[in-house]
Amino acid sequence: MNLPRISRTGRPGRRPRTARRVEPSRFAARDNLSEAFAGILQRPARSALTALGTVLGVGTFVAVLGLTATTSSQIDSRFNLLTATEVTVEDVAQQANAFAGPGFPADADQRVERLGGVQHAGVFHPVRLDAASGGVRSAPVGGAAGGGAATEVVAASPGALRAAVPELAQGRLYDAYHSGSRQRVAVLGSAVAARLGITTLETRPAVFIGSEPFAVIGIIKDVQRKPDLLLSVTVPRTTAEEIWGPPQSTGTTMLIATDIGAAQQVARLAPTALRPDHPEYLKAVPPPDPRTLRSGVTSDLEQLFLILAGICLVIGAVGIANTTLVAVLERTGEIGLRRALGARGRHITTQFLAESGALGALGGLVGTSLGTLTVVGVAVLRDWTPVVHPGTVALAPLLGLLTGVLAGLYPAWRAARIEPAEALRR
């Protein structure tokens, strides 16, 4: 039999009550994600527009890196085919010996073309006309619009023209016969022909350089080397020397087109092949390292376009932050009810961070897909090989997620500070 407990005063006492433990509220990760996606799908149009900024930012990020890598490979191949196969030889005879004559011999083209790996080679120099000569005209007297002394005249051997790899719009190039017989023929760049009003060769047009007439036998539309030929009138070197005398030493240059891999060797042998008695009269300039030049171009492209991608990501982050903050204000009652039912401040914070992070991640996934499709589409249109680094594709969605989380920090912090009593009054 249980007797009542007697206190020290002699009065029956009460048994001590056992304190009831209150379990803290928990918010599982699965429930958090479920609530986040429910909040996003509750307003799908607003969520889609909010994620659009992240889509553009991440898509630009992927497209920039992919297109930069793709164009880098194209730049590399073009440097290998053009820049890495071009050698120039400069006449420095006057610098080596003030009493020396021209550094290039009369048969310079033939001497260099005998070297292994040489495709074409030729000497060229600018023709210096007197100010009173009238320059280049399409009529024997007067002038033509856009002509005159501003048009450059280049004296070039046939090998120099071939080494420039020209693409003709009309006519032909002059050859060894024209050069050997000192024919007065000229090849015009397309820009010069348009300024002089020469649109066809069917009428057998002529140009006048000073008072000397030259028959136009060809019009160059494009060149792969020495692009200033498009703005010049080119005449045979022998003809120019017969009319205007030998050129000055400075400014005379030889252009050599080589096979792939032969440029460095040709640059070493050319001065000796041209002037075995005085190779120091000539200075060969080998092509630059294409890898160094490509890395410089690639770095410039990446810096320029990554700034654009960063701006798009900032715009996307601002959009997510603004929309999340508006959602906090609109859902004040819901937040107060959750707090009254036991939700803690960190639960509210993680819920809104999950929503903003989910928006950023979805935008990152869509942006990654669009950026990759852009790279592939451009490569297909340009007949290139698309290059997209796997690390870029893996990093881009995480970049969108990080953007969303950072954008939701302030709205989530503000939502966690809402007092339940004040929220329920609204």
b/e 317-335 (16+ beta carbons within 10 angstroms → b) = bebbbebbbebbeebbeeb
Tens digit of each residue's pLDDT (9 = 90 or more) over 111-146: 999 999 999 999 999 988 876 666 888 887 655 444
Checking if the pLDDT of 340 tops 80, the result is no
Same domain, 197 and 332: no
Same domain, 193 and 318: no
Same domain, 315 and 360: yes
* End position of a domain, from candidates 218, 252, 277: 277
Let me know: does 349 contact 94? Beta carbons within 8 Å: no
Same domain, 154 and 184: yes
Let me know: does 122 contact 173? Beta carbons within 8 Å: no
At residue 146, φ and ψ (nearest 5 deg) are 80, -5
In a domain, 24, yes or no: no
* End position of a domain, from candidates 277, 307, 339: 277
Number of domains in the chain: 2
Q: Specify the pLDDT at position 34.
A: 72
| Terminal CA-CA length for the chain | 59
Checking if the pLDDT of 380 tops 70, the result is yes
Same domain, 267 and 347: no
CA–CA separation, 400 and 309 (whole Å): 12
In a domain, 397, yes or no: yes
In a domain, 4, yes or no: no
In a domain, 48, yes or no: yes
In a domain, 194, yes or no: yes
Q: Specify the pLDDT at position 111.
A: 94
Q: How far from chain centre, in Å, is Cα 72?
A: 8
Q: Specify the pLDDT at position 3.
A: 47
Q: Specify the pLDDT at position 177.
A: 94
Q: Please report the DSSP string for 290-344 in residue order.
A: HHHHHHHHHHHHHHHHHHHHHHHHHHHHHHHHHHHHHHHHHTHHHHHHHHHTT--
In a domain, 282, yes or no: no
What single letter denotes the amino acid at residue 74?
Q
Q: Specify the pLDDT at position 234.
A: 95
In a domain, 88, yes or no: no
Same domain, 118 and 225: yes
Same domain, 226 and 264: yes
How much is the mean pLDDT over the chain?
79
* End position of a domain, from candidates 277, 305, 336: 277
Domain, as residue range, for 51 = 29-78+292-425
In a domain, 378, yes or no: yes
Same domain, 259 and 150: yes
Integer CA distances (angstroms), 330 to 16, 43, 86, 262, 323, in order:
48, 12, 69, 73, 10
Where does the pLDDT of residue 153 fall: very low under 50, low under 70, confident under 90, or very high at 90 and above? very high
Same domain, 127 and 263: yes
Q: Indicate the burial class of 83 (C-beta count within 10 angstroms; 0-12, 13-18, 19 or more).
A: middle
Tens digit of each residue's pLDDT (9 = 90 or more) over 205-229: 999 998 899 999 999 999 988 888 9
Same domain, 41 and 154: no
Q: Specify the pLDDT at position 100.
A: 75
Same domain, 57 and 183: no
Tens digit of each residue's pLDDT (9 = 90 or more) over 62-93: 887 787 777 766 655 555 566 678 899 999 88
Q: Please, which residues bridge with residue 88 across strands?
A: 255, 285
Same domain, 135 and 220: yes
Nearest to 126 by CA among 96, 151, 102, 107: 151
Q: Which residues lie closer than 8 Å to 158 by C-beta, 6 or more apart?
A: 109, 122, 173, 174, 175, 176, 178, 179, 236
